[in-house]
Structure 1
């Protein structure tokens, strides 16, 4: 079974999400539509890439993913459809696919060319929906576009390695609902460069010298319960997606705040890891 997912920065206040779903159901009344997120920060490509990378593989192979973030067609950004890791993606060619494609090479990419027949200021509705429904009916990618060899890369998703392999310079690419700060440095890169050496990570004016596997690892459960409270302590972990995450243990955004607000870290802020 294949289905269609939606990931956009439309929010839920306006009519946009409903209009897109209505158009899909008009063409495919029995299709299953799943919302991945409509709360992507406006035009935030790195955030979109992170969300997609960590969600699409939970869906059945053959699923069709519409990505509607910064999707206006212009001289710098065309529209593409591709088959990647046995999934189909329909998106602007603005680098959003590059985090997923860092692990898998696309099997086929086409530049969508149905714009010649459709003039639109709402391409997710007027173009992406038509492409998704075409694919869902079993149509080939070549029918809706010409085959191309590559796509745009999102440079700020990639950390920078020093020439002597002693330093990784990364950045914040996502802040989750708990205020946790996700970096673009993953476990594989950390291990390849670090090779088990001691390290210091600088994030804003704070530094860390240990990475935990899960949040509760900061708690010493050998202590009596009344002595082990670590609520509000800062830590870094390899999160469920294997990226380094800066967190506050048991943070509460409504009262104490999360790592982003308490440590003064925001999207695109730089951080460094230095190995001894």
Structure 2
């Protein structure tokens, strides 16, 4: 039985998601389909990359992931199928695979070449579904495409290091459902560059000199009276291992989220300055 996931920016109001699922079931009646999300911000490749990186590993080996974000075929936006980390990805070559493939090299990549037999303005439905179902039936990637050895890199996913000024220059990669700001600065980079020194995180006109390991750590010994900390700003390394600027118990309808309260949006800069030889105020989660 084949497991196929869907990650798109289609939303759920229109017919697109239902049509894609129907096409999969027409090809593979026993397929199992899992929606990762259909609420990607329209055409937002970095958001897609972040969500994909932090979801695909939870699925069994051999899972086929269809990604439909900015998927219209063009000379600069090829369609590819990829074997990576014992998973398969069917997606546009627009950089969304960068976050995964920067750490794990793909086993095989092909440029899908079945378009000459299929005319389509809806490639996820007409092309990606056929490729995914072909893979699910045990088909070899080279049958549906020409093998290639590279893919488009998304430069903005990678933060920069300014060694001369002892800085990491990153930015907001994703804003989650709570309005929290996920940056592209990983805990590994922070530790590698910081080397135990003191630091200041600069986020717009706000700054942080402490990184928590859990959200409720901000309450200290006042856990029984924690409501007084609602709306407090904090920095944390989230479960995905990325620096996050958050609001404790944020509620977008009342307190507000970090994005609105701090006035920060996608791509806005987050800068870390390292300035002493003392250890930072956080305990690493090993």
TM over 0.5: yes
CA pair 191-92 structure 1, distance change in 2 beyond 3 A: same
Matches within 5 A, 1:49-68: 49-68=49-68
Cα distance in 1 between the residues matched to 2:118 and 2:273: 52
Aligned to 1:206: 206
Q: CA deviation at 1:165?
A: 6.6
CA pair 195-224 structure 1, distance change in 2 beyond 3 A: closer
CA pair 79-226 structure 1, distance change in 2 beyond 3 A: closer
Aligned to 2:97: 97
CA pair 69-164 structure 1, distance change in 2 beyond 3 A: same
Aligned to 1:11: 11
Deviations 1:228-269 (A, max 9, x none): 721111001000000000000011111111001111111111
Contact 2:219 2:226 in 1 (8 A): no
CA pair 15-163 structure 1, distance change in 2 beyond 3 A: same
Cα distance in 2 between the residues matched to 1:187 and 1:120: 43
Q: CA deviation at 1:103?
A: 1.5
Q: CA deviation at 1:119?
A: 1.3
Contact 1:208 1:235 in 2 (8 A): yes
Aligned to 1:164: 164
CA pair 227-71 structure 1, distance change in 2 beyond 3 A: closer
Aligned to 1:108: 108
Cα distance in 2 between the residues matched to 1:224 and 1:92: 47
Deviations 1:211-236 (A, max 9, x none): 11110111112x48348721111001
Q: CA deviation at 1:52?
A: 0.3
Aligned to 1:193: 193
Aligned to 2:259: 260
Cα distance in 2 between the residues matched to 1:107 and 1:224: 48
| SS at 1:229 equivalent | helix
Give the total of aligned pairs.
275
Matched, 1:235 2:220: no
Point out 4+ residue stretches in structure 1 off by more than 4 angstroms.
none
Aligned to 1:137: 137
Aligned to 1:123: 123
Contact 1:171 1:271 in 2 (8 A): yes
Cα distance in 2 between the residues matched to 1:228 and 1:175: 24
Contact 2:2 2:63 in 1 (8 A): yes
Aligned to 1:88: 88
Aligned to 1:21: 21
Q: CA deviation at 1:167?
A: 0.4
Aligned to 2:43: 43
Q: Which moved more, 1:35-44 or 1:209-218?
A: 209-218
Matched, 1:274 2:273: yes
Cα distance in 2 between the residues matched to 1:183 and 1:215: 16
Cα distance in 1 between the residues matched to 2:225 and 2:128: 56
Cα distance in 1 between the residues matched to 2:110 and 2:165: 37
RMSD of aligned Cα (Å): 1.2
Contact 1:165 1:193 in 2 (8 A): no
Tell me, which stretches of 5 or more residues in structure 1 are unaligned? Answer: none
CA pair 163-220 structure 1, distance change in 2 beyond 3 A: closer
